[in-house]
Chains A and B, each alone.
Chain A
Amino acid sequence: MELKDKLVSSFFALEEEFDAENGIYDIRNQAIKDFETLGFPNRKDENWKYTSLNTILKHDYSLFPKKEDALEYRDIKKYLIHDIDTYNLVFIDGIYSSHLSQTTHDKIDVCLMSSALSKDKYRPLIENYYNKLAPKTGLNSLNTAFAREGAFIHIHKNLQADKPIQIINFATGNESALMLQPRNLIMVDENSHVQIIERHQSLTDHPVLTNSVTELFAGKRAFVDYYKIQNDKDSASLIDNTFIEQQGESNVSVHTFSFGGKLTRNNLNFYQKGERIDSTMKGVTIIEDKQHVDHNTLVHHIEPNCESHQDYKGIYGDRSTGVFNGKVIVEKEAQKTNAYQANNNILADDKATINSKPQLEIFADDVKCSHGCTIGQLDEEALFYLQSRGIPRKEARGLLMYAFANNVLESVKIPEVKKRINKLIATKLGVELGFNL
C-alpha cells in the first residue's frame, strides 16, 4: 500500500483517539481531506523541481511509536547547548519527556502543544493562531492531521524571555521506520524578545522522516532570533515548514545550519504585515556523501518601508546536492522595499550538484531589490599564499572555507551557539582551526 493511502487509513483508524481532544477536531478532519486530495509533492511541482521525495517515501513508516525509550541526560547532553541555562522542550519519538525538559508558566508560557490544546485557558490563542498561517499544501495538511505534540510558546507583551528556549526532537526508532509530525506554535507579543534554538536528532539507524510545521507570530516591535541546527544521521530526513507573520517594526531572523541528514528541505516563509519590518534569513550548508539540502524561501513584502536580507552559503562535497530556491514578492503597495538576496556556493567535488533559482517578482517601482548567485571554487592564489607560509593544503582549504562561511556566523547572537557552530564547521571540514571565536 502506498504511504499516502496508509496515512489516510490510519487517520480514520485513530480518529476516535483524537476525538478526545478539544478544539482542533474539525481542523484535523479538514486537513486529512486536504491531504487526501493534495498528496505528497512531486517534481512536476515547480517548487519541488529539484527535490524528489520518492526515495524517502518508500519506507513503511510507523506513525504512532510505542512508549519512549528511557533516555538519560548524559545520552543527550551533547546535542544540547548545555553550557548555558535554557528552557528545554525535549520530545522523544514525538512524546514529551518531562524529566529532560524545563518549562515555565511564570510570566511567559513555554510548554507543550498537547497541554495547550486541552486547557480552556489557551482556547482563545489556539482559535486565533493555530493553523492560521500555514497554507494548504499536502505536507502542511499531513502535519495538521496528525500533529499531537510540539512546542507552545507565548511571550506576553513587553517581556523578554529570560533565557533561550531549546526545542529538541529525538527519534529513537525501535520501529523499523518512524515518521514524526511535530507542531510548534510561537506567539511573541508586542515589544517582546525571545531566542529559540531548534534541533531534530535521530539516535537510530532506522529511517526517520520528520515533517515539522512551525507557525510564528511576531507582534509589533517584537524581536525574534531563531536558530535551526540540522546535523542528523544519514538515515534521517527532515522537512521543515516554517511560517512567520510579522507585524510593524518587528525584527525576525532565522539562521539555518544544515550539516547533515539524508534529505533536508527547509521551507521558510515570511509574511510582512506591517511597515518597517526587518526579516533576515541566513544559512550555512556543508554536506557530503549523497546528502541533499534544499532551502526554499519566500518573503512576501506587503507593506511599504520593509527590508529583507537573505544570505545562504553552501559547500558541497562528494555526490551531494544543494538547492536554493528563493522567492521575493513585492506587492505594489510595498514601496521603498529593500530586498537583498545572496546565494554563494562552492562545489568541492566533481559529482556534487547545485541548483539555484533566485526569483524576484516585483510590482512596485520605488524599490531596491537585488539578488546575486555565484558558484565557484576556492581561490588558488589564496591557497598558495597560505601554503607558502607553512599551512598544509588541507588546513588551508579548511581555513578558506571557514572564512567563506564565517560572515553568516557574524550575526549569531548567542556566543555558545556560535561556538558550537564553529566547532561543527571545523569538524565538517576536517580541520583543527586552532582558534576560538
Chain B
Amino acid sequence: MAYTEDDLKKELETKEYEYGFYTDIESETFPVGLNEDIVRAISKKKEEPEWMTEWRLEAFREWQKMEEPEWANVKYPKPDFQNISYYSAPNKKPKYESLDEVDPELLDTFKKLGISLDEQKKLAGVAVDVVMDSVSVTTTFKKTLAEKGIIFCSISEAIQEHPELVKKYIGSVVPKKDNFYAALNSAVFSDGSFCYIPKGVRCPMELSTYFRINQAGTGQFERTLVIAEPGSYVSYLEGCTAPMRDENQLHAAVVELIALDDAEIKYSTVQNWYPGNKEGKGGVYNFVTKRGLCEKGAKISWTQVETGSAVTWKYPSCILKGDNSVGEFYSIAVTNNFQQADTGTKMIHLGKNTKSTIISKGISAGKSQNSYRGLVQINPRAENARNFSQCDSLLMGNKCGAHTFPYIEVKNKSAKVEHEATTSKIGEDQIFYCNQRGIDTEKAIALIVNGFSKEVLNKLPMEFAVEAQKLLEISLEGSVG
C-alpha cells in the first residue's frame, strides 16, 4: 500500500480530531423540544404525503410509551430529548443541477472532509450523497446511475417521487416500534439516503453517503433504505464526522437493507464522530439500528470501522430468511480515552443452509470500555445452518476494559456453530522483534494493530481501507508508552 511510515508519522503529529471544524452556514433550525406538532412540522417541511405523516405520528406515540434501554454495558448521562432540535437544515434549499451552484462554503467543508465532490466525480467514480445536519445536500452522479435504472437520492425525495417503493419497504425490516431509538428516528427522521437497484443490475460504482452534524444542540436522525431487487449487487459506503463540541450530541439513525432473491448488498461504515476530548467531555452519542433482510440466496455483508463517538450502541444485524442466504459481519471497534462502545451483531437464521460469519476486533486503550455483544440464533427450521464467530480483543494498559457477551441460541440439531474469543495485549516479544529491526515502538504498535485488524480492513473498499487504517492509528496515538 502506498501509505508509508512517514505518512503515519505525519498523521500522528496531527493527533487532534481533524474533522473538528464548524462550518458557518446559515441554517434553519427548529426550536428545541419534541411533541406531535414538531413531528407534523418536520413532515410538512419535507412536503410529505399524508400517509408518511401518519406513520411518523404512530411511531411518535409508540416512542412516548417506551423507555430508554439500560442493558448495554455503557454509562452516560441520558440525553434530554426535550432539549434537542429535531431539524436543522442548511438554509438555502439545495437543489442544484451542477456543483457550481453550491454554496462555496459548503464545498469547502467537503474539501476539508476529504470528499471533494468534483474530484471524486471525476476520479473515484463514487456517487456521494451528503447529509449535513440531517438534510441531504447533494447527490452526485445521479444521471449516470439513472441510465441503469438505479435510484440513488435522498429519502425525502424518494418519498415524493417513489412513494410506492418507500411505502412498501420502510419499516419492514426495522419496525417503527422496534426499539426506543428506532421509534424516535421513525418519528423525527429528517433525511437520509434511498437506494434502489433494479433486477439483475450490478451497480457500476460504489455508492456513498457522508453524514455530518454541524449545528450545535441538534440531533441527527437519518434514515437509510437500500433495496436490491433479485440478482442485483450494490456496495454502499457511509462515513460520519462532527465538529468538536462540549455538549453531547445525539445521533440515532436507522438503516434498513432489503436483499431480494440472489441479491448482494455490501454495506461499509467508517464512523468517526467526535469522540469527546481527553477528559471525556463532549462527543457524539451514536445509537444506531441497522438491520438487513436476506431472501433466498441473498447476501448481506456489514463492515464497520468504529473509531469515533463517545458512546456507541450499534448492532448491525442480518435476518437470514431465505434458504441459502449468507450474512457477514466484519467489525473493528477502537476506543480510547473515555470512549465506550457496545457493539456487535445479530444473525438470525430462519432459512435452510444459511451461513453467517462474524469477525469482530476490539481494541481498547486509555480509560475506555469496549464490549462485543452478539446473538447467533438458529431457529428450528434452519436446517444445516452454519455460523462461525470470532471475537478478538486487544488491551492497551490496565485502565481500560474489554468485554465479550455472546449469546448463542440453537434450536436445530443440524446446526454447526462455532464461537471463539481471545483477549490479549501486544506482546513484548513482538515489539522487541520490531525494535531490533530498527522499527521504533510507536511504529511497531501501529504495525501490529494493523495486522490485528487486517482481516476486517481487507473487506473495505480500497478508498475506505486507506482512510480506516489512518483512523486506527490516529485514534490510538498516545495510548501506549
Q: Are A367 and B415 in contact (CB under 8 A)?
A: no
Q: Are A377 and B423 in contact (CB under 8 A)?
A: no
Contact with B along A346-383 (1 / 0, CB 8 A): 01111111111111111111111111111111000000
Q: Are A354 and B421 in contact (CB under 8 A)?
A: no
* Contact A365-B425, Cβ < 8 Å, known A46-B71, A358-B419: yes
Tell me, yes or no, whether B98 is within 8 Å of chain A by CB. no
Main secondary structure, interface of A, reads strand
Chain A residue at minimal CB-CB distance from B403: A361
Q: Are A347 and B410 in contact (CB under 8 A)?
A: yes
The distance from the CB of B55 to the nearest CB of chain A, in whole angstroms, is 31
Tell me, yes or no, whether B359 is within 8 Å of chain A by CB. no
**The residue from B400, B404, B410, B425 contacting A375, defined by CB atoms under 8 A apart:** B410
**The residue from B399, B423, B425 contacting A360, defined by CB atoms under 8 A apart:** B423
> For residue B476, which residues in chain A have a CB less than 8 angstroms away from its CB?
none
Main secondary structure, interface of B, reads strand
A-binding segment of B5-13, B29-37, B59-67, B389-397: B389-397
Chain B residue at minimal CB-CB distance from A363: B401
> For residue B433, which residues in chain A have a CB less than 8 angstroms away from its CB?
none
Please report the C-alpha to C-alpha distance between residue A61 and residue B133 in the assembled complex, in whole angstroms: 62
Chain B residue at minimal CB-CB distance from A359: B405
> For residue A333, which residues in chain B have a CB less than 8 angstroms away from its CB?
398
Q: Are B408 and A372 in contact (CB under 8 A)?
A: no
Contact with B along A315-352 (1 / 0, CB 8 A): 00000000000000000110100000000010111111
The distance from the CB of B99 to the nearest CB of chain A, in whole angstroms, is 49
Q: Are A349 and B413 in contact (CB under 8 A)?
A: yes
Chain A residue at minimal CB-CB distance from B375: A357
**The residue from A46, A363, A368 contacting B398, defined by CB atoms under 8 A apart:** A363
> For residue B413, which residues in chain A have a CB less than 8 angstroms away from its CB?
347-350, 352, 377
Q: Are A362 and B416 in contact (CB under 8 A)?
A: no
The distance from the CB of B377 to the nearest CB of chain A, in whole angstroms, is 9
Q: Are A369 and B403 in contact (CB under 8 A)?
A: no
Q: Are B419 and A357 in contact (CB under 8 A)?
A: no
> For residue A374, which residues in chain B have a CB less than 8 angstroms away from its CB?
416-419
> For residue A356, which residues in chain B have a CB less than 8 angstroms away from its CB?
406-410, 419
**The residue from A347, A365, A370 contacting B395, defined by CB atoms under 8 A apart:** A365
Q: Are A367 and B423 in contact (CB under 8 A)?
A: yes
> For residue B407, which residues in chain A have a CB less than 8 angstroms away from its CB?
355-357
**The residue from A332, A347, A359, A360 contacting B415, defined by CB atoms under 8 A apart:** A347
> For residue A351, which residues in chain B have a CB less than 8 angstroms away from its CB?
380
* Contact A371-B398, Cβ < 8 Å, known A349-B413, A377-B416: no
> For residue A376, which residues in chain B have a CB less than 8 angstroms away from its CB?
415-418
Residues of chain B in range 403-443 having any CB-CB distance to chain A below 8 Å: 403-425
Q: Are B423 and A372 in contact (CB under 8 A)?
A: no
Please report the C-alpha to C-alpha distance between residue A373 and residue B378 in the assembled complex, in whole angstroms: 15
**The residue from A357, A362, A371, A372 contacting B401, defined by CB atoms under 8 A apart:** A362
* Contact A360-B403, Cβ < 8 Å, known A353-B410, A355-B409: yes
Chain A residue at minimal CB-CB distance from B389: A373
The distance from the CB of B284 to the nearest CB of chain A, in whole angstroms, is 25
The distance from the CB of A327 to the nearest CB of chain B, in whole angstroms, is 9
Q: Are B420 and A357 in contact (CB under 8 A)?
A: no
* Contact A354-B408, Cβ < 8 Å, known A365-B395, A372-B419, A377-B414: yes
Q: Are A361 and B401 in contact (CB under 8 A)?
A: yes
> For residue A354, which residues in chain B have a CB less than 8 angstroms away from its CB?
408-410
The distance from the CB of B413 to the nearest CB of chain A, in whole angstroms, is 4
**The residue from B403, B405, B406 contacting A362, defined by CB atoms under 8 A apart:** B403
Please report the C-alpha to C-alpha distance between residue A260 and residue B409 in the assembled complex, in whole angstroms: 21
Chain B residue at minimal CB-CB distance from A332: B398
> For residue B402, which residues in chain A have a CB less than 8 angstroms away from its CB?
360, 362
Please report the C-alpha to C-alpha distance between residue A361 and residue B372 in the assembled complex, in whole angstroms: 10
The distance from the CB of A69 to the nearest CB of chain B, in whole angstroms, is 42
Chain A residue at minimal CB-CB distance from B411: A353
Please report the C-alpha to C-alpha distance between residue A353 and residue B417 in the assembled complex, in whole angstroms: 13
Q: Are A373 and B422 in contact (CB under 8 A)?
A: no
> For residue B416, which residues in chain A have a CB less than 8 angstroms away from its CB?
374-377
The distance from the CB of A50 to the nearest CB of chain B, in whole angstroms, is 8
Please report the C-alpha to C-alpha distance between residue A369 and residue B415 in the assembled complex, in whole angstroms: 26
Contact with B along A113-136 (1 / 0, CB 8 A): 000000000000000000000000
Q: Are B406 and A359 in contact (CB under 8 A)?
A: yes
Chain A residue at minimal CB-CB distance from B73: A361
Q: Are A364 and B398 in contact (CB under 8 A)?
A: yes
> For residue A362, which residues in chain B have a CB less than 8 angstroms away from its CB?
393, 395, 401-403, 423
Q: Are A350 and B424 in contact (CB under 8 A)?
A: no
The distance from the CB of B239 to the nearest CB of chain A, in whole angstroms, is 31
The distance from the CB of B365 to the nearest CB of chain A, in whole angstroms, is 10
**The residue from A366, A368, A370 contacting B421, defined by CB atoms under 8 A apart:** A370
> For residue B415, which residues in chain A have a CB less than 8 angstroms away from its CB?
347, 375-376
> For residue B401, which residues in chain A have a CB less than 8 angstroms away from its CB?
361-363
> For residue B409, which residues in chain A have a CB less than 8 angstroms away from its CB?
50, 353-356
Please report the C-alpha to C-alpha distance between residue A374 and residue B386 in the assembled complex, in whole angstroms: 11
Most central of A332, A352, A370, A375 by chain B CB within 10 Å: A375
**The residue from B396, B399, B411, B423 contacting A332, defined by CB atoms under 8 A apart:** B399
Q: Are A369 and B422 in contact (CB under 8 A)?
A: yes
Most central of A349, A362, A374 by chain B CB within 10 Å: A362
> For residue A353, which residues in chain B have a CB less than 8 angstroms away from its CB?
409-411
Please report the C-alpha to C-alpha distance between residue A358 and residue B391 in the assembled complex, in whole angstroms: 12
> For residue B419, which residues in chain A have a CB less than 8 angstroms away from its CB?
356, 358, 371-374
The distance from the CB of A85 to the nearest CB of chain B, in whole angstroms, is 44
Chain B residue at minimal CB-CB distance from A370: B422
Chain B residue at minimal CB-CB distance from A369: B423
**The residue from B71, B378, B410, B420 contacting A371, defined by CB atoms under 8 A apart:** B420
The distance from the CB of A342 to the nearest CB of chain B, in whole angstroms, is 9
Please report the C-alpha to C-alpha distance between residue A348 and residue B410 in the assembled complex, in whole angstroms: 12
Please report the C-alpha to C-alpha distance between residue A332 and residue B401 in the assembled complex, in whole angstroms: 8
The distance from the CB of B202 to the nearest CB of chain A, in whole angstroms, is 36
> For residue A371, which residues in chain B have a CB less than 8 angstroms away from its CB?
404, 419-421
Residues of chain B in range 2-47 having any CB-CB distance to chain A below 8 Å: none
Chain B residue at minimal CB-CB distance from A374: B418
The distance from the CB of B404 to the nearest CB of chain A, in whole angstroms, is 4
Chain A residue at minimal CB-CB distance from B426: A365
Please report the C-alpha to C-alpha distance between residue A14 and residue B403 in the assembled complex, in whole angstroms: 46
Please report the C-alpha to C-alpha distance between residue A406 and residue B198 in the assembled complex, in whole angstroms: 56
Most central of B403, B413, B415, B420 by chain A CB within 10 Å: B413
> For residue A370, which residues in chain B have a CB less than 8 angstroms away from its CB?
420-423
Chain B residue at minimal CB-CB distance from A324: B408
Please report the C-alpha to C-alpha distance between residue A374 and residue B416 in the assembled complex, in whole angstroms: 7
> For residue A50, which residues in chain B have a CB less than 8 angstroms away from its CB?
409
> For residue B417, which residues in chain A have a CB less than 8 angstroms away from its CB?
373-376
Please report the C-alpha to C-alpha distance between residue A376 and residue B414 in the assembled complex, in whole angstroms: 7
Residues of chain A in range 18-57 having any CB-CB distance to chain B below 8 Å: 46, 50
> For residue A375, which residues in chain B have a CB less than 8 angstroms away from its CB?
378, 408, 410, 415-418
The distance from the CB of A376 to the nearest CB of chain B, in whole angstroms, is 5
The distance from the CB of B349 to the nearest CB of chain A, in whole angstroms, is 12
Please report the C-alpha to C-alpha distance between residue A106 and residue B410 in the assembled complex, in whole angstroms: 52
Chain A residue at minimal CB-CB distance from B401: A363
Name 20 extra pairs, CB < 8 A, besides A354-B408, A354-B409, A365-B395.
Answer: A46-B71, A333-B398, A350-B413, A352-B411, A352-B413, A353-B409, A355-B408, A360-B393, A360-B402, A360-B421, A360-B423, A361-B403, A362-B401, A364-B395, A365-B400, A367-B423, A371-B420, A372-B419, A372-B421, A375-B418
Seen from chain B, the residues whose Cβ lies within 8 Å of a Cβ on chain A are 71, 378, 380, 393, 395-425
Q: Which 7 pairs across A and B sit closest by C-beta, in order of nearness?
A: A347-B413, A365-B395, A375-B417, A356-B408, A365-B425, A373-B419, A360-B404
Q: List 27 A-B contacts (CB under 8 A).
A: A335-B398, A347-B410, A349-B413, A350-B413, A354-B410, A356-B408, A357-B405, A357-B407, A361-B401, A361-B403, A362-B395, A365-B395, A365-B396, A365-B397, A365-B398, A366-B425, A368-B423, A370-B421, A370-B422, A371-B404, A371-B420, A373-B408, A373-B417, A374-B416, A374-B419, A376-B416, A377-B414
